[in-house]
Every structure is written in C-alpha cells, then in structure tokens.
C-alpha cells in the first residue's frame, strides 16, 4: 500500500493527525448531510484512533458498551455513505485519507464556530444585556440586582452577560433550602484557596473579607450570587444567621476600588440600608417576538393567534417557553394551533407552577422510570456541586438495569425538565501552563488531567457532562418525592447501597478500602473528627485530587483553628505514623520550616523573631516526640534525644518563662497571628537578671552552634521515610476511573446529607459510619431486619 499523508501527520504529532482526520470526517459529512460530527461520534472516532475497543470507550465516557456499539455501527454506516466506500472500524483511517486526496479542493467548509453567534436557548435579551452594560459603564455600578419571577431567566441572563463580556466569574449558589444556606465564610475561603491560590488564609472573617477585596482590586472578574431570596426575610432583609452576606456585599463587592462586576439574582428585592448602592434591574418576561424567534428555531409554526394567547397567559416566562416547545414539537408535530385547541382551558390559568405540575403528571403517565428519576433528582441541593455527573443520576436508579438507566436519563432529557450540558474539552496552551486556574477556573466546573495519545502525554482541561434542575422544577420534584411512598430515609439508604455496589466486585479496590480502614483505626483512633474524613483523605491522595469530600464529611476540619490538625493528619498519612506522633513532629516542623528560605512557610519568619526564637519553640516538639507513650522508631528517638542533649541546661527554664510571660503579658506577643510567641529580645527587657543571664548564655551557644544544630535537626526530619499512596497502590485506568466515580458519588451522598433536614438521626448515623468502608465491614454494621 502506498504511503498516505496520515503517516506524515503521525510523524509530526499523533494528536495533530487525529485532528486532521476529524476535520476530514466533518468536511465529508457536511458535504452530504449539512452537519458536523456529533459529540458521541467524535468520542468513538477518537477512541478508535487511539486503539480502544468499544468497551474501553464506553468505560471512559460513562456509556454502556451496547450503546457505544450501536452508535459506532451507525457512524460507520454514515461514513460509508459520505465517503463512497465500505468503512469499518479497522479501515476508517485509509478511507478518510482517500476521500481527502480526492476532494480536498472541492468540498465546502463546515461553518466555523462564531463567537458572536446567538445561543438558540437565549433569545430576546439584547435589551437586557445593553441595560446591564449601561449600568456598569455609564453608572459605574459594581453590583446589580436582577429581580424577577421564578423561571423568568434571571440566572440565564447573568451567565450570558458574563459570557458576552468574556469575564470569568465566581459563583455563589445560595441554595433553595432556607435551612442549608451556603456559608459566606466557607465560600470566600474556597475561592481564595482554589481560584486565587492563596496559601495562607486569615484567621477571622474580617481579614478574609480584606483578602478577597485585595484580590478583586487587582483582577477584573465577575461574581454571581444566585437565588439570594432564600436568605431573605419577609421584608427583604437578610436573616440574622446570614448577615455575613451583607458584609460581603457592603465591604467588598460594592467597594469603589474593586474591579469585579457582581450580579445578584433574586425573586425578592433586597431591602438593606447598607446595600443601597446595588443597582436594581427588574427583569421582565420575554416579549412575543422572542417567543416567536425561539419556537421558529424548532420548526414550530408561529403564524397563529395562539402564540399571543399562550405568551400572554405565561407573561413571557422563559421556563414556560422552554417546557412548552417540547410538548408542541413532540405531541403536535409543531402545530401550535392544535396544541392551543386541546389545552387552552388549562393554559388560561397562566401559572408556571401549574404548567410544571402538568408536565410531571404527563411524565408519570407515559414514563414512570423517568418520572421517578426526576423526583429523586430533587434530593440534590445543587450548591457545592451545581452540576451532577452521570454517575449521580445512575445512583438514583437502583431499581433499573444499566440499559434502563440510560433510557430513563435520555427520556428525561427529552422532556426538557432537566438541564444539562455536554462534555467540553480544550487543550492547555503553553502560555497558560503557569496560570491554569485563570484559564480554566474550577468554579465553572473545569478539571485538569492528562490524556495519553499514541504514547504522548498531553495536558487537557475538561468540563464533565452535568445535569441540574431549575429551582422551580426542583421545588416540585422534592415536594412530590416527600409525598410519595418512598421515604427519604429509604431513598438515602438505597443510594448508599448503589454507591457501595460500584466497587463491590473489584477485589483490588476492596483490598484497598480494607487497608484504608485498617490505617484509619491504627493511626487515628483518637482523632476528634468523623472517621470517614480520614478514609476520604486516603482516597483523595490515591487519586491525586483535592480533599473536597473530607471537608464536606466534617466541616470542622476547614476551620482556621484546625489548620494545625490538617497538617498533622497529612503528616500521619505521609509518615505512616500515629496521629499523636504526627502532632508532635508537626510542632517541630511548624517552627523549623519558616527558617528555610525556599519553603512556602518562610513568610512566617518576621522581623520581630530571630532564628533563636524558633529554635527555642522547637524544643517543645522534641519533648513531645520523646514521650515514652508514643510509638516512635528507636533510631528516630535516639536522634531526637541526641539533638536535645546538645542544648545548654538553661533552655528548659527559658522556654517555661516565655510561656508564662505570653500569658501574663499578651501585649508582648508578636504581631504574626499564627506564631503566638514572645521574642527573647523582649523577654530580656521585661524580666529579672537571672532570666536575662540565661538568655545571654543561650544566645552565645546559638551563635556558635545554632546553625549546625538546626541543620542536623532538618536532616533528621528529612530522613523520616515517607509513604506515597499512589505509588504503593497501582490501579489500572479502569480501576482509577471506577474509584473516582465512587469518590464523586459519595460526595453527592454527603452533600444530600448535609443539606437535608428530613433524614432521621439513625439513618444519618449509619450512612456516616459506613462511608467508604469495604463491603465486608459494612455488612458487619448493617442492622438485620
């Protein structure tokens, strides 16, 4: 066979060759069908190009194998038709190249994505976008309140505004349950840590606000506070438990020095004296012309007086428009007049809640499986995890087979009662490698990872496919769920069982969970937190991902006062030692690391404290580590004892005096809040001659031997062997994916537990107690009927 041009592309870059192949396929399909490759067709072509079989492709992208086989078969038929020859999975490369060489000059190009092209689901809001631009540009508004009825399109407008302005934005989902309002303090900490990459968070709320304000003074980004009405009282004021929202808005987001633009969505107008600078924008319903444009895009005949009647009945509500178009298109073949004749009596009620209720009833009548899924989706709060991955829907369908699950999900999507987005991927440009969080912010769902393409590692960013409910639909879903025969306790228990089954048949994963449980028992028996927090941390380290689940299992771990605990927990896992010993060694490191100029902790080294001040405090950590009750290895014990023996006799006395003076005279403590120490310089000025004499002896010793002493201690600490979990447990790609899905599904379960007040204490306790345990251990703890 003669060489073809694809070989040349492969020599350049395997991924470039694949992109050429996809481009050729798009051109060929467009020339005959007037469309481009569908997302799932791209997945199959990519997987086939990389040598994956259908099972591998299905596993990678959360599809059933049969579904991928069916789609693959249709794809090869399509390519056979447009390429003019029999195309199979084994020959599609050469078939594409032959077609390319024959048609390269004559094929019309598929239309390229137009950044200015309208979103088909976003119509009639040009005036609203212009009005927001006027408020920001001419009136210098920093914060705008978008007010309107449920379903009118407030959140959609906010998202679209930021998109049109090409602004990255931070999103604060207030929540729809008044008992589970998102904490402002935790949200600020999350954004500072994850988006702005701040390593050192302030201890108190006032200082956190200042940190956030400083960041927003240097960078123009958007902020969306969604559904704030949940936190308001009947007078439009923020309830007492949620006054932090007032502080966030008044002291940061409407501050004249910030570059950020904040949009607030609410069904109720804010009425706070401190927040009068928030510019109000009451969002009206869409006009009739917008409805006509939207329906026309779906080939619905709009040349009918019925359009005016329906539009008037629902006040131009955007959600009503979206729900109605599906019914008119699917049941009446796009005949608006016929739909009006059959439904005008109902439509004249004109209540969006009645319309939504009727669609639930319709789904109940025609597809009970999709109906149950819709109601169960009401359980998810859509706050910490605003978009639910496919596995989250699968966990709600414990009573269906894999194929039935897929059918139920597809059926629900067709009903337009669930929102969804398809997976989006982008290559990481070289210019952004040091600023990934700016280009692909986590708050918008971006995740980072590697793809192996023809043995070449490639960094990519991607947004997994996600699903969510509009708040109006969620309210109906949860109301119906609570009134059904399925109790919330039973549902939560069944979800938990469905999650556990995900890894039940994999012996290695069960062995890993058993090992994790044994480590949690052996090393963390005295930890004052929920044990599942530790198990979640082991999983996160094995998967090399952030600790979100650990924090969500026990939110106390994220509080500033427990920062030292967090470090000690990681040390215990890293060194494979008990938590008590890790706490002692962690105290040494707390005062040793700031002395290393290359350490990220070096900023704790202030001008008020000298190296000798840190060295003196290290003594306490050494003494704690040498406690006979601790299980420390003999070699490490001998090394630490030798290091302590080198110190002059006066050191214990001076350390004790410094502790006492810090209690008696707190005004002498250094201004560094994380290091509550009194410097030896101040101690000499404010104490008796005996103390001054002892300090001077210590200073003389430290000047001669201190640097060598610190280096010796540093060498000892560096020599402690570390355990890399991801290296110790080598999982296959399929096992990694399964473990990640298991982790994500447990996050969803915990999110439901944290947001629901309808789960009994007994069920809540059992779920929390058995989270992330191996099946054998769960069975021991499951009560028998």
**Phi, psi for residue 594 in degrees, rounded to 5:** -60, -15
Q: Is residue 535's pLDDT more than 80?
A: yes
Domain boundaries, the chain: 5-103, 126-282, 499-576+721-785, 578-718
pLDDT on residue 597: 64
Q: Is residue 428's pLDDT more than 70?
A: no
Higher pLDDT residue, 421 or 617? 617
CATH architecture of 126-282: 3-Layer(aba) Sandwich (3.40)
Which of 249, 314, 303, 322 has the alpha carbon at shortest distance from 279?
A: 249
The mean predicted confidence, pLDDT, of the chain is 82
Q: Is residue 89's pLDDT more than 50?
A: yes
pLDDT on residue 104: 52
Per-residue pLDDT tens over the stretch 271-322: 899 999 999 999 988 999 998 888 888 888 888 888 888 888 788 888 888 8
Instruction: Identify whether the C-beta of residue 179 lies closer than 8 Å to the C-beta of residue 234.
Output: no
pLDDT on residue 60: 66
Per-residue pLDDT tens over the stretch 8-34: 333 334 455 666 788 788 788 877 766
Higher pLDDT residue, 626 or 60? 626
Q: Is residue 176's pLDDT more than 80?
A: no
Band the pLDDT of 466: cuts 50, 70, 90.
Answer: confident
Q: What percent of the chain has pLDDT over 70?
A: 83
The dihedral built from the CA positions of residue 12, 13, 19 and 24, taken in this order, carries a sign that is: positive
What mean pLDDT is predicted for residues 168-195? 86
Mark 489-524 as b/e (b = at least 16 C-beta within 10 Å).
bebbbbbbebbbebbeebeebbebbeebbebbeebb
- Tally: H helices and E strands in the chain: 36, 10
pLDDT on residue 162: 92
Question: 171: which strand partners?
Answer: 224
Q: Is residue 204's pLDDT more than 50?
A: yes
pLDDT on residue 421: 73
Q: Is residue 376's pLDDT more than 50?
A: yes
Q: Which of 89-93, 197-201, 593-597, 662-666 has the highest mean pLDDT?
A: 197-201
pLDDT on residue 120: 54
Residue 445 tokens, joined: 């769902």
What mean pLDDT is predicted for residues 702-723? 90
Per-residue pLDDT tens over the stretch 260-270: 999 999 988 89
Distance CA 493, CA 378 (A): 16
Q: Which long-range contacts (CB under 8 A, 24 or more apart) does 642-646 make?
A: 643/709, 643/712, 643/713, 643/716, 644/619, 646/705, 646/709
Band the pLDDT of 119: cuts 50, 70, 90.
Answer: low
Distance CA 224, CA 201 (A): 22
What mean pLDDT is predicted for residues 246-268? 94
Q: Is residue 768's pLDDT more than 90?
A: yes
- Helices marked H in 62-166: 65-83, 92-103, 126-137, 154-164
Distance CA 517, CA 486 (A): 32
Is this model's pTM higher than 0.85 or not?
A: no
Question: 453: which strand partners?
Answer: 456
pLDDT on residue 773: 97
Q: Is residue 427's pLDDT more than 90?
A: no
Distance CA 695, CA 435 (A): 48
pLDDT on residue 106: 45
Band the pLDDT of 726: cuts 50, 70, 90.
Answer: confident
Higher pLDDT residue, 577 or 203? 577
What mean pLDDT is predicted for residues 248-254? 95
């Amino acid at each position: 066979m003669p060489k073809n041009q694809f070989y040349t592309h492969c020599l350049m870059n395997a991924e470039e060759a694949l992109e050429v192949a996809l481009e050729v396929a798009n051109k060929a399909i467009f020339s005959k069908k007037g469309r481009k490759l569908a997302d799932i067709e791209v997945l199959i072509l990519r997987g086939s190009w990389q040598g994956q079989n259908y099972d591998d492709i299905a596993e990678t992208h959360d599809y059933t194998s049969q579904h991928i086989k069916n789609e693959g078969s249709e794809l090869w038929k399509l390519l056979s038709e447009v390429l003019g020859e029999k195309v199979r999975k084994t020959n599609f490369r050469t078939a594409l190249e032959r077609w390319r060489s024959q048609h390269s000059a004559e094929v019309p190009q598929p239309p390229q994505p137009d950044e200015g092209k309208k979103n088909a689901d976003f119509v009639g809001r040009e005036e609203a976008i212009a009005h927001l631009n006027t408020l920001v540009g001419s009136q210098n508004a920093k914060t705008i309140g978008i007010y309107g009825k449920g379903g009118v399109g407030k959140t959609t407008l906010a998202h679209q505004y930021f998109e049109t302005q090409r602004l990255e934005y931070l999103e604060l989902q207030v929540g729809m349950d008044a008992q589970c309002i998102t904490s402002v303090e935790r949200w600020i900490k999350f954004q500072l840590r994850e988006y702005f990459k701040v390593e050192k968070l302030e201890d108190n709320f006032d200082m956190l606000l200042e940190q956030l304000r400083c960041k927003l003074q240097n960078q123009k980004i958007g902020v969306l506070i969604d559904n704030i009405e949940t936190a308001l009282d009947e007078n439009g004021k923020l309830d007492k438990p949620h006054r932090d929202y007032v502080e966030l808005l008044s002291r940061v987001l409407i501050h004249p020095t910030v570059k950020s633009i904040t949009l607030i969505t609410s069904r109720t107008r804010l009425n706070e004296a401190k927040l009068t600078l928030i510019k109000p924008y009451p969002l009206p319903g869409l006009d009739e012309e917008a409805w006509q444009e939207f329906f026309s895009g779906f080939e619905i005949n709009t040349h009918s007086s019925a359009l005016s009647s329906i539009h008037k009945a629902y006040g131009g509500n955007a959600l009503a428009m979206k729900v109605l178009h599906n019914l008119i298109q699917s049941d009446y073949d796009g005949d608006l007049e016929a739909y009006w004749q059959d439904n005008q009596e109902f439509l004249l009620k004109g209540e969006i809640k009645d319309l939504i209720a009727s669609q639930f009833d319709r789904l109940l009548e025609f597809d009970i499986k999709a109906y149950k899924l819709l109601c169960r989706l009401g359980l998810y709060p859509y706050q910490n995890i605003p978009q639910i991955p496919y596995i989250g829907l699968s966990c709600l369908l414990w009573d269906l087979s894999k194929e039935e699950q897929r059918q139920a999900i597809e059926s629900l999507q067709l009903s337009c009662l669930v929102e969804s987005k398809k997976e989006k991927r982008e290559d990481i440009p070289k210019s952004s490698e040091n600023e990934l969080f700016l280009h692909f912010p986590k708050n918008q769902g971006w995740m980072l990872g590697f793809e192996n393409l023809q043995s070449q590692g490639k960094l990519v960013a991607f947004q997994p496919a996600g699903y969510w409910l509009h708040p109006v639909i969620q309210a109906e879903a949860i109301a119906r769920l609570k009134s059904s025969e399925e109790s919330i306790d039973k549902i939560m228990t069944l979800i938990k069982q469905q999650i556990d089954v995900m890894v039940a048949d994999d012996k290695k994963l069960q062995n890993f969970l058993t090992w994790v449980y044994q480590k949690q028992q052996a090393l963390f028996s005295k930890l004052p937190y929920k044990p599942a927090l530790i198990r979640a941390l082991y999983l996160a380290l094995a998967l090399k991902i952030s600790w979100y689940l650990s924090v969500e299992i026990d939110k106390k771990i994220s509080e500033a006062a427990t920062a030292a605990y967090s470090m000690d927990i990681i040390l215990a896992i890293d060194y494979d030692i008990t938590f008590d010993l890790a706490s002692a060694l962690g105290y040494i490191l707390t005062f040793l690391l700031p002395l290393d100029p290359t350490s990220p902790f070096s900023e704790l080294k202030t001008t008020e404290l000298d190296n000798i001040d840190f060295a003196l405090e290290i003594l306490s950590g050494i003494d704690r580590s040498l406690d006979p009750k601790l299980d420390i290895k003999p070699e490490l014990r001998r090394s630490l004892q030798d290091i302590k023996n080198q110190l002059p006799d006066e050191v214990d006395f001076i350390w004790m005096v410094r502790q006492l003076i810090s209690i008696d005279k707190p005004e002498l403590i250094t201004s560094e809040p994380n290091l509550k120490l009194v410097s030896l310089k101040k101690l000499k000025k404010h104490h008796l001659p005996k103390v001054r004499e002892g300090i001077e002896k210590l200073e003389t010793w430290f000047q001669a031997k201190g640097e060598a002493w610190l280096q010796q201690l540093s060498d000892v600490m560096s020599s402690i062997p570390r355990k890399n979990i991801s290296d110790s447990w080598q999982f296959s790609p399929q096992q990694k994916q399964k473990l990640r899905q298991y982790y994500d599904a447990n996050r969803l379960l915990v999110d439901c537990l944290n947001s629901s007040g309808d789960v009994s204490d007994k069920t809540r306790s059992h779920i929390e107690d058995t989270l992330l345990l191996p099946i054998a251990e769960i069975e021991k703890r499951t009560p028998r009927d």
